[in-house]
Amino acid sequence: MSVETTRDGVSRELRTRVLGRLEQECLRLRAGARPALLRAIAAKGEGIDLVKVQRELAIVDYKIAAINDQLATTHDPHPGSALCANCCVLLDQGEGGRWFVLAALPVEGEEVIASDSALGRAILGAREGESVHYPTPCGPRTARVIALEPS
């Protein structure tokens, strides 16, 4: 089966799954993590590292904002254009091509590249056939954009 015949179904299914997982994470953060941190700040009890709790709250708020931004973005796939947020990309990092979605945050158990990661920043704006270089803790790496989702 060719890339052309498989990418529409793969990208649609992957994006739907990832967006659903991001919605669940946003609900979890809003209903659980954020209120718990606010209660800890309000309690100002002994043994609470207020700076640490406030830092955790800022991280939770960042994640909520990033997810909301991603969910509010209407993705309109476009032929011949560059990779953008919410796009699905067939990427070869040296082990053969795998489909990923470029998302605001990593999603555990899903093929996601966080848009603020080194690889995410490198592929943002890339076109089919381009190779991109990005830093890793083990040294520079290269990935090749094989295909983008169709319009």
Predicted confidence (pLDDT) per residue in 106-151, tens digit: 888 888 898 889 999 999 888 889 999 999 999 999 999 998 875 4
8 Å CB contact between 97 and 90 = yes
For the segment 2-30, the average pLDDT, to the nearest whole number, is 77
Q: How far apart are CA 121 and CA 128, in angstroms?
A: 16
Per DSSP (E only), the strands in the chain are 88-92, 97-103, 112-114, 131-134, 141-148
Query: What is the pTM assigned to this prediction?
Result: 0.71
Runs of H (alpha helix) within 49-112: 50-72
**pLDDT attached to residue 4:** 44
Q: How far apart are CA 74 and CA 71, in angstroms?
A: 8
Q: What is the pLDDT of residues 54-109, one digit of tens each?
A: 999 999 999 999 888 888 876 666 555 777 777 888 999 998 899 998 888 888 88
Higher pLDDT, 6 or 76: 76
